[in-house]
C-alpha cells in the first residue's frame, strides 16, 4: 500500500465527510437526502485501504468535526463514520451484499443506541419522553384548533401510540436502523462501483427470502404475544413481546412483498402492478396483514418452488 496515497485519500475522505455533514446541517431539506451519502467517503476509503487505516482517518476526522460542530461530532462518527467503515471492510473481505448489509445495519443500530445513551447522560433528558410530550401538546393543539370538545376522546389512538413509544423504543431503533442502513448501502455501493471496483449487488427483490427458520421465530413471537395479552400486557413479557412482534411482522411483510414480485414476474406481468400494490399497501395499511399472511404461506409452504414446478 502506498502510504502517501493513503494519507492523501484519508485527508480527502475526511474533508468530504465533514463537508457533507456541514451542508446537511446548514440546509435541512438537502440534509434529508445527503444523510444517506455521509458514510460514502469512509466506505470507499475502507474498501481501498482497510479498516485499520480508515480508523486512523476517522479519528482525525472526529477531531476536525469536534472543532466545527462540537458535541455533535461523536454522534455523527458513531452513526455514519462507523457504518461506512463496516460496510467498506465487509466488501473488501468479499462479503455478499446481504453480508455487508448485516454489518452496516448492526453498526447503525449500535450507533443509534450509543447516541441515545450519550444524549441522556450528557443532557439529563430522555429524547423519547421529549418526543412524547411534543406529540401530546400537538394533539391537544390540533383538537383546540378543530374545536373538538375535551370530553370527546378523538385523539385516543394517537395518544395510545404515544404512550406505547417508551415501550417499543428497541423495535423502533432496529427498524429505523435497518431501513436507513439499506439506503446508505445502496448509495455507497453505487459510488464504489463508479470508482471502478466490482462489488456484489443485491439480488432482484423477487428473489429475496428469509431462511426457513424465520417462520419458527415468528410463531414464537406470536405465541408470546398471545400469552402477553392473556397476562394483561404488563411487565417484562410485555416489553419483549411488544418489541419482538413489530420486527417479525416487518420481516414477514418483506417476505410477502418479495413473493408478490416473484409471482407477477413468473406470470410475465409488468413490474408496475406490484409496485402500485406496494405503494397502496403503505397508503392503506389494512392491506399489510394480507401481504404478511402471503409471506407466512410462502415461507411455510415453499410456495415459490411449487409455482416454479407447475410453471
CB 279 within 8 A of CB 285: no
pLDDT digit string, tens, across residues 166-225: 788 889 999 999 999 999 999 888 888 887 778 889 999 999 999 988 999 999 988 888
Per-residue H/E/C for 253-270 = HHHHHHHHHHHHHHCCCC
Cβ partners under 8 Å of residue 263, min gap 6: 307
Average pLDDT over every residue of 117-140: 75
Per-residue pLDDT band for 146 (boundaries 50, 70, 90) equals low
Q: State what percent of residues in the chain have pLDDT above 90.
A: 39
Cβ partners under 8 Å of residue 239, min gap 6: 167
**Number of C-alpha atoms within 13 angstroms, CB side, residue 212?**
5
Q: Residue 125 has what pLDDT?
A: 76
Q: Residue 120 has what pLDDT?
A: 83
Per-residue pLDDT band for 226 (boundaries 50, 70, 90) equals confident
Q: Does domain 1-128+168-202 bear CATH number 1.10.1760?
A: yes
Question: What is the residue whose three cell numbers read 415459490?
Answer: 304
pLDDT digit string, tens, across residues 30-86: 778 888 899 999 999 999 888 999 999 999 999 988 888 888 888 899 999 999 999
Average pLDDT over every residue of 295-305: 89
Per-residue pLDDT band for 307 (boundaries 50, 70, 90) equals confident
Q: State what percent of residues in the chain have pLDDT above 70.
A: 88
Rounded Cα–Cα distance for residues 44 and 215 (Å): 36
- Each domain of the chain, given as residue ranges in start order, spans 1-128+168-202, 205-311
Chain mean pLDDT for the chain: 85
Average pLDDT over every residue of 247-252: 93
Question: What is the reported pTM?
Answer: 0.85
Amino acid at each position: 500500500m502506498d502510504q502517501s496515497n493513503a494519507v492523501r485519500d484519508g485527508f480527502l475522505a475526511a474533508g468530504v465527510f465533514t463537508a457533507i455533514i456541514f451542508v446537511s446541517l446548514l440546509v435541512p431539506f438537502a440534509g434529508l437526502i445527503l444523510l444517506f451519502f455521509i458514510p460514502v467517503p469512509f466506505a470507499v476509503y475502507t474498501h481501498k485501504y482497510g479498516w485499520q487505516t480508515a480508523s486512523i482517518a476517522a479519528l482525525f476526522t472526529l477531531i476536525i468535526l469536534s472543532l466545527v460542530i462540537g458535541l455533535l461530532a461523536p454522534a455523527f462518527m458513531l452513526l455514519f463514520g462507523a457504518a461506512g467503515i463496516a460496510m467498506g471492510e465487509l466488501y473488501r473481505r468479499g462479503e455478499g451484499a446481504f453480508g455487508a448489509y448485516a454489518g452496516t445495519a448492526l453498526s447503525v443500530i449500535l450507533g443509534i443506541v450509543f447516541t441515545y445513551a450519550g444524549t441522556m447522560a450528557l443532557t439529563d433528558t430522555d429524547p423519547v419522553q421529549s418526543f412524547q410530550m411534543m406529540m401530546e401538546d400537538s394533539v391537544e393543539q390540533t383538537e383546540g384548533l378543530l374545536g373538538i370538545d375535551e370530553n370527546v376522546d378523538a385523539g385516543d389512538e394517537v395518544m395510545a401510540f404515544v404512550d406505547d413509544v417508551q415501550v417499543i423504543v428497541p423495535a423502533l431503533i432496529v427498524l429505523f436502523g435497518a431501513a436507513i442502513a439499506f439506503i446508505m448501502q445502496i448509495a455507497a455501493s453505487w459510488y464504489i462501483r463508479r470508482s471502478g471496483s466490482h462489488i456484489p449487488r443485491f439480488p432482484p427483490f423477487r428473489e429475496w427470502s428469509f431462511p426457513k427458520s424465520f417462520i419458527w421465530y415468528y410463531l414464537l413471537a406470536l405465541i408470546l404475544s398471545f400469552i402477553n395479552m392473556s397476562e394483561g400486557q404488563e411487565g417484562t413479557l410485555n416489553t419483549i413481546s411488544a418489541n419482538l412482534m413489530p420486527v417479525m411482522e416487518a420481516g414477514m411483510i418483506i417476505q410477502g412483498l418479495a413473493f408478490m414480485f416473484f409471482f407477477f414476474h413468473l406470470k410475465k406481468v409488468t413490474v408496475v402492478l406490484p409496485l402500485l400494490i406496494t405503494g397502496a399497501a403503505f397508503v392503506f395499511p389494512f392491506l399489510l396483514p394480507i401481504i404478511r399472511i402471503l409471506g407466512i404461506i410462502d415461507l411455510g409452504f415453499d410456495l415459490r418452488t411449487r409455482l416454479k414446478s407447475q410453471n
